[in-house]
C-alpha cells in the first residue's frame, strides 16, 4: 500500500484571502491559478504496521502543526478506505534556494499528499481516478492545494460545503501560453496569520465583491488568449491582496525591499522599453513576472543582473502518480 505522486505549485492569478469556514477551509469567493512546471513536490505515502504516523519533508522529520495538517488529509483517506494502518509520508521539493514564502509549496504539498494517499489506500480501484474528489481532500491541508491537483489554468469554486468546494481545470497552454519568471524571497510569518489579518481589514468586504467579479473576467480572458489582460488583472489583484493585509489590525507588511526592486524593474521594462511584462504576488514577498514566452530569457537576465535568484517556468500540469 504505497504510492508516489508529483504535483506542481501554482501562481494564484485571482487570489483568495480569509476563510468563511476554517475547519473545511472554504473561501469567501472563487479563485484562479496556473501551475508552474519548473517547481514540484514529490511525495510518497505508505500505509503499514508502523509504530506511529510520521512525515519527513526534505529529509527532516516534522511534528506539531505540520504533521497535524498532513493528517487532516490522511484521516479522510483512512476513513474512506476503512483503514486503521499507520502512515509514513516522505516529501521533497525541488527548490534548492532555502526557505521562501509565497511560492505555494503548501499547494503542491497538499496535492501530492492527497493523490499519493488516494492511490496507496486503493481508493482508485473503488472510485476511479477522481480529480474533483482528490481536490476536495487536498483542500483540507491548504485551500490552494485543490487547484494544484487539477493543474494548468484551474478555478477553485468556493462552494457552500465540503462537496461543493472543489477545483476544475478550464484551460491550458493551447488556450494561453504564458511564460513566467519567479523571484523567490524568504519571510518569517505564517499564511494563516495573513489570512486572519485580512479578514479584519476595513476594506475586506469590498475586496470580496471585486474578486467575485474579477474571477469571471479572468477566466474569460484566459479562454480568449488575452495574455496582457490576464497579467494586468493578476497585477491589480496582487496589489489589492497586499493592501488588505497591510490594513489589518497588525499592519502586516509582507513585502521585502527586494520585492519592490523587482516591481520597479518590471514597471521600467513596461514604461521605458514597452515590453509586455507584469508582476504578481501571493501571500508573501516572492514575485512572479508574467509575459509572453519569447520575453522570458530577457526578463530572466535582467533579474539576475540585480543579483537576485530567479527561476523560469512554463505552465504545469495537474498531479500525477509516478510510482
Domain ranges of the chain: 2-172, 179-313
Residue 95: pLDDT over 70: no
**Residue from 15, 18, 12 nearest 197 by CA:** 18
Provide the pLDDT for residue 195. Answer: 84
For residue 244, the tally of other CB atoms under 10 A from its CB is 25
- Which spans in the chain are helix H? 64-81, 105-120, 123-127, 131-138, 145-150, 191-199, 204-223, 227-246, 257-273, 296-304
In this prediction, residues 259-283 reach a mean pLDDT of 96
In Å, how far are 40, 92, 96, 285 from 99, measured between CA atoms? 15, 13, 9, 12
Q: Which residues pair with 62 in a beta bridge?
A: 55
What band does 66 get if pLDDT is binned at 50, 70 and 90?
Answer: confident
Provide the pLDDT for residue 161. Answer: 95
Q: Provide the edge-to-edge strand list for the sheet that holds 320-321.
A: 60-62, 54-57, 86-93, 41-48, 2-7, 320-321
Provide the pLDDT for residue 104. Answer: 54
Is the whole model's pTM more than 0.85, yes or no?
Answer: yes
In this prediction, residues 309-315 reach a mean pLDDT of 95
Cβ atoms of 159 and 19 closer than 8 Å: no
In Å, how far are 158, 172, 194, 213, 247 from 27, measured between CA atoms? 5, 24, 14, 15, 20
Q: Cell numbers for 104, please give them.
A: 505555494
Residue 42: pLDDT over 90: yes
Give Cα 159 to chain centroid, integer Å: 18
In Å, how far are 92, 118, 126, 244 from 50, measured between CA atoms? 21, 19, 25, 45
Cβ atoms of 85 and 121 closer than 8 Å: no
Greatest pairwise CA separation for the chain in angstroms:
63
**Average pLDDT taken over every residue of the chain:** 93
In this prediction, residues 49-58 reach a mean pLDDT of 93
For helices 105-120 and 64-81, what crossing angle results, to 10°? 30
Provide the pLDDT for residue 155. Answer: 98
Return the sign of the alpha-carbon dihedral for residues 310, 315, 318, 322. negative
In Å, how far are 12, 29, 37, 95 from 260, measured between CA atoms? 19, 28, 26, 22
In whole angstroms, give the CA distance from residue 184 to residue 182. Answer: 6
In this prediction, residues 299-312 reach a mean pLDDT of 95
Q: Which residues pair with 179 in a beta bridge?
A: 291
Domain 2-172 indexed as CATH 1.10.10.10: no
In whole angstroms, give the CA distance from residue 176 to residue 165. Answer: 25
For residue 205, the tally of other CB atoms under 10 A from its CB is 11
Kind plus residue range of the DSSP H or E element containing 179: strand 179-183
In this prediction, residues 67-96 reach a mean pLDDT of 91
Residue 102: pLDDT over 50: no
**Which CATH number is 179-313 given?**
3.30.70.890
Amino acid at each position: 500500500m504505497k504510492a508516489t505522486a508529483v504535483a506542481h505549485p501554482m501562481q494564484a492569478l485571482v487570489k483568495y484571502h480569509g476563510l468563511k469556514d476554517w475547519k473545511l477551509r472554504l473561501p469567501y469567493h472563487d479563485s484562479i491559478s496556473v501551475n508552474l512546471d519548473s517547481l514540484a513536490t514529490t511525495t510518497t505515502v505508505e500505509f503499514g504496521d508502523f509504530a506511529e504516523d510520521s512525515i519527513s519533508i526534505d529529509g527532516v522529520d516534522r511534528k506539531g502543526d505540520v504533521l497535524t495538517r498532513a493528517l487532516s488529509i490522511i484521516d479522510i483517506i483512512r476513513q474512506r478506505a476503512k483503514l486503521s494502518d499507520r502512515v509514513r509520508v516522505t516529501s521533497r521539493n525541488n527548490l534548492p534556494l532555502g526557505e521562501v514564502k509565497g511560492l505555494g509549496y503548501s499547494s503542491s504539498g497538499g496535492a501530492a499528499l492527497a493523490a499519493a494517499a488516494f492511490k496507496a489506500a486503493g481508493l482508485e480501484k473503488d472510485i476511479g481516478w477522481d480529480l474533483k474528489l482528490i481536490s476536495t481532500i487536498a483542500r483540507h491541508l491548504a485551500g490552494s492545494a485543490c487547484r494544484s491537483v487539477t493543474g494548468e489554468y484551474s478555478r477553485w469554486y468556493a462552494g457552500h460545503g465540503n462537496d461543493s468546494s472543489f477545483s476544475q481545470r478550464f484551460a491550458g497552454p493551447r488556450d494561453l501560453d504564458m511564460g513566467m519568471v519567479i523571484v523567490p524571497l524568504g519571510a518569517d510569518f505564517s499564511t494563516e496569520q495573513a489570512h486572519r489579518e485580512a479578514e479584519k481589514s476595513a476594506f475586506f468586504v469590498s475586496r470580496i465583491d471585486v474578486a467575485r467579479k474579477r474571477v469571471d473576467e479572468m477566466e474569460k480572458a484566459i479562454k480568449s488568449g488575452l495574455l496582457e489582460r490576464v497579467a494586468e488583472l493578476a497585477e491589480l489583484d496582487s496589489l489589492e491582496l497586499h493592501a488588505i493585509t497591510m490594513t489589518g489590525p497588525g499592519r502586516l507588511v509582507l513585502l521585502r525591499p527586494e520585492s519592490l526592486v523587482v516591481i520597479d524593474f518590471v514597471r521600467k521594462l513596461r514604461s521605458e522599453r514597452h515590453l509586455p511584462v507584469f508582476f504578481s504576488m501571493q501571500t508573501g514577498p516572492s514575485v512572479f513576472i508574467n509575459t509572453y514566452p519569447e520575453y522570458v530569457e530577457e526578463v530572466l537576465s535582467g533579474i539576475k543582473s540585480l543579483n537576485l535568484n530567479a527561476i523560469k517556468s512554463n505552465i504545469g500540469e495537474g498531479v500525477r502518480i509516478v510510482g
